[in-house]
Amino acid sequence: MKQIQLIIFYAFFSLFFAGIATTGIGADQDEPSSVDNGNNYRSVEERRLLVALEEERINLKNEREELAKKKNTLKRLQQEVDKKLEELKQQRIELEKLLAEKDAQELQRIQELSKMYGKMGAEKAARVFGSLEQDLAVAILAKMKTKSAAKILNNMDRDKAAALTTAFSTLETP
């Protein structure tokens, strides 16, 4: 009989605690027994930690998304910069070609002018050289035959001839 009473006691005891666990009867008010987001929490601290972890996870996800957007923006900007650099490089090459053509044309014109002034009379050429810019006059003299250049300088004003001779002595020929 004592065994039957013990079995009944254990059965009642088990049912009683099973009922408390499922209904939350007798639970402390500080400890949540309700379900939050489908989770059962054993303590307030566990709930706080899980909420904090969830917030941190959301923050990290947002930061990752923001970083991905910034990365895409940077990649797009880098491509734009690369494209602009390539365009500038092409323009620089084109400009260098144009400058080389211009220099070649100027040299050809100076060569032609030196032939013209060489065939001109020394007195007339000296009067014209007196009114030319110094750099142009020196370039023309550099391309002329020495004898013709000497005749022109001989018929020029002394100061102008001296200035041209000084500039001619420091001339850097291309």
In a domain, 68, yes or no: yes
Please check whether residue 32 lies inside any domain of the structure. no
What b/e string do you get for 43-77 counting C-beta neighbours within 10 Å, with b at 16 or more? eeeebeeeeeeeeeeeeeeeeeeeeeeeeeeeeee
How much is the pLDDT for 158?
87
Residues comprising the chain, all counted:
174
Question: Is residue 88 included in any domain, yes or no?
Answer: yes
The pLDDT score that the predictor gives to residue 7 is 67
With respect to residue 11, please indicate whether it lies within any of the assigned structural domains.
Answer: no
- Running DSSP on this structure, what letter comes out for residue 121? -
Is residue 163 in some structural domain? Answer: yes
What is the tens place of the pLDDT at every residue in 57-96? 999 999 999 999 999 999 999 999 999 999 999 999 999 9
CATH code of 127's domain: 1.10.220
> Residue 164 falls within a domain, yes or no?
yes
List phi, psi (to 5°) of 42: -90, -20
| Confidence at residue 32, expressed as pLDDT on a 0 to 100 scale | 43
Quick check: 28 pLDDT over 50?
Answer: no
> What is the domain extent for residue 62?
38-169
CA dihedral of residues 152, 157, 160, 162 (deg, nearest 10): 80
Domains in the chain, number: 1
The answer to whether residue 26 is domain-embedded is: no
> What does the alpha-carbon distance between residue 118 and residue 166 come to, in Å, rounded to a whole number?
21
- Condensed to tens digits (0 to 9), the pLDDT of residues 121-174 reads 888 888 888 888 988 888 898 889 888 888 888 888 888 888 888 888 885 544
